[in-house]
Amino acid sequence: MTFDGAFDAMAALHAACFTTPRPWSAAEISSTLDNGFTFLLTEADGFLIGRVVAGEAELITLAVDPKARMQGIGGRLVDGFLAEARLRAADSVFLEVLDSNLSAQRLYARKGFEVKGKRRGYYQTPEGLRMDALILGRGLGA
């Protein structure tokens, strides 16, 4: 598989996982990864994109094939994200999650994330409805 093919496969997986927020295209995935701040973690049925800037890490997106969920893939990817954030000298991490995505919130809570705030109307559904995002975060202390 070429790297471009990998972006196509990631975009297809992202589309299988998300309608809100809207799925990313292969070009958006490629451009997001095209700088020194972002990184990609992969497993056979999932991927995670993160970045570290000025001591703060952001989990940008996490996608796990719906047919492969509940097998620990998301947890391993989040563990990898936390480890990579530490390697890149981050002190804290954050992410946004759709406030109705309870399974993702449970995963992040198991990894030590707590609700830090809410972004009202942050996401838009395909029908044009605005939905809130929760901001989750945690420190990376020893």
Residue 130 scores a pLDDT above 60:
yes
Mean pLDDT score across all residues of the chain = 92
Answer yes or no: are the C-beta atoms of 101 and 109 closer than 8 Å. Answer: no
Residue range(s) defining the domain that contains residue 37: 3-139
Q: How far, in Å, CA of 17 to CA of 64, rounded? A: 7
pLDDT value at 19 more than 50: yes
Taking residues 30-57, report their average pLDDT.
94
CA dihedral 14, 42, 57, 96 (to 10 degrees): 30
Answer yes or no: is pLDDT of 14 > 50: yes
Q: Which 3 state secondary structure label does DSSP give 45? A: coil
Query: Residue 125 gets which letter from DSSP?
Result: -
Q: Which CATH number does the domain housing residue 23 bear?
A: 3.40.630.30
Report the relative pairing of strands 46-53 and 130-139 from DSSP bridges: unpaired
Q: What is the pLDDT of residues 47-59, one digit of tens each?
A: 999 999 999 999 9
Give 142's pLDDT tier (boundaries 50, 70, 90).
low
3-class DSSP assignment, residue 127: coil
The structural domain count of the chain equals 1
Segment 64-87, tens digit of pLDDT? 988 978 888 999 999 999 999 999
| Per-residue pLDDT band at 121 (split at 50, 70, 90) | very high
With cut-offs at 50, 70 and 90, classify the pLDDT of residue 3.
low
CA of 98: how far to CAs of 21, 87, 141, in Å?
8, 28, 26
Tell whether the model's pLDDT for residue 21 goes beyond 70.
yes
- Provide the edge-to-edge strand list for the sheet that holds 56-64: 38-43, 46-53, 56-64, 92-98, 130-139, 114-124
Average pLDDT over residues 83-104: 96
**pLDDT value of residue 136:** 98
Tokens of 142: 């020893």
